[in-house]
Structure 1
Amino acid sequence: MHREFSDAVPVANLLKKLYPKLIDIHNYPPRNNTQLKLNNWETLNFKALGKIGLPQSKAMLQKLAAGTPGAIESLLHEIKLHDRSSKKSDRCDEQEQVWSENDDIMMVNVNKKVGDAIVQVPQKMILFSIYEHTLRDSQTKESYLNAANQKIAHLESILKLKGERIDELCAQLAKVSVRSLIKQHNLENSSPNSALNFGNIENDTNNKSTEYL
């Protein structure tokens, strides 16, 4: 019996008959090793046992998954007493429809200090697997944004360097153009005085070009 009930599937089938809207058998595939059986028990505890007022501790779930003698007997006894209690059954019938609307959220009462008194207040809880999935999505998006920002900064740096290089080439091209024009003019005017005069013009032009740059 302990080995057969070490997986949550038989108990899930039992609760399916008592609370059909709370149990989806597809959420409890048969498992062979202890860790996977524990996963089934955690799911059943969150989706069903906790919602009917029979939440089990982590230690108890581990005992159930390990097939510890006395664990399954204790749980079945609790379920039997709960089923016989008309008051609790009526309360579960009223809340069953609300729970079935969002199967990933469970309301639990937690102790909270208000002034000098300790009171119980309802608090919403979700499966840890859902929290992990949401956290991974957030981290993935943050990593993507960081990588995109690094690429943008790199492209801006490249554009700046290219702009500086273009300015430098334009300045060099201006100098070469002026020198070519002066050389051509000197060749066309072979007199020494003319060449000398245009040599002075070249110096003046270079000075102006330097001032412009």
Structure 2
Amino acid sequence: MTVSVSGTVAIAHWCYSYNQPIMSKPPQTTSTSFADEIDDAVLQELYSWVDQIPLSRPKKNLTRDFSDGVLVAETISHYFPKLVELHNYPPATGTKLKMENWNVLNRKVFKKLHFELAEDVIKQVVNAKPFVIERVLLMLRTKIDTIVWEKHKQQNEQPEADQYKQGNSSFLSYRGKESINRVPSCQSWGGVQKPPFSDVSSRNAGDGIVPSDFVPRVQLEEKVQECLSKEETIQILEAKVRRLEHLLHLKDIRINDLQIRVDGIRPTGHR
């Protein structure tokens, strides 16, 4: 996936490493960072990911469709059915009920996924502010992919009997093969993009097993984003250094000019 520096840096402002709380309190995520535009390639892949998930509503407008939190609950339920009770999230058109749905998600679901949304972010989602729900979904996808990958890794390292026992007891019971072997559809929001874990060899993909030395795409992308963000910071600092060097050069010229003038008016001898 190709990501431009501008889009990547915008995401990097709010995306920390996968094992830390993101968009959480504290630290608070500023409203302006969520309003920033997102790179087209990132959006295209996000839309393809959403298109794979069976949702209860026709997919028309991402910002409006997800504003009441219902489709977010369905998205999480698709991967972790035991984590979400869908009857707690009725469809809503009013701001108050939408806020209630999101607050329930924040309290009962997001905390178990190790992040929370700040209140101002929820308000922006409810009010269908552009690019905010996209950032929330990007975060959610990162969490889902990470948990699924770690779950597979843990199960692969355990005896078969323990795998069965853990798979039936954990609230993060998920559809393993669907999570790993996604087949993107080309529907209303975008074309086909290579999904996470799609580079798994066919030998492993057939049985839904991820190699123990496989690095999740989300971790790789986060490191790339972090590097690009630091690279841009370095470029900005280098530009400042060049500017200061230029100012210093101008001051040297000015000093030399003044020195010449002083030498010109200084008496050269005595009568």
Provide the TM-score with structure 1 as the length reference: 0.41
Between Structure 1 and Structure 2, the one with more helix by share is 1
The TM-score with structure 2 as length reference comes to 0.33
Q: Which has the higher contact order (CA 8 A, sep 6+)?
A: 2
Could you say which structure has the larger radius of gyration?
A: 1
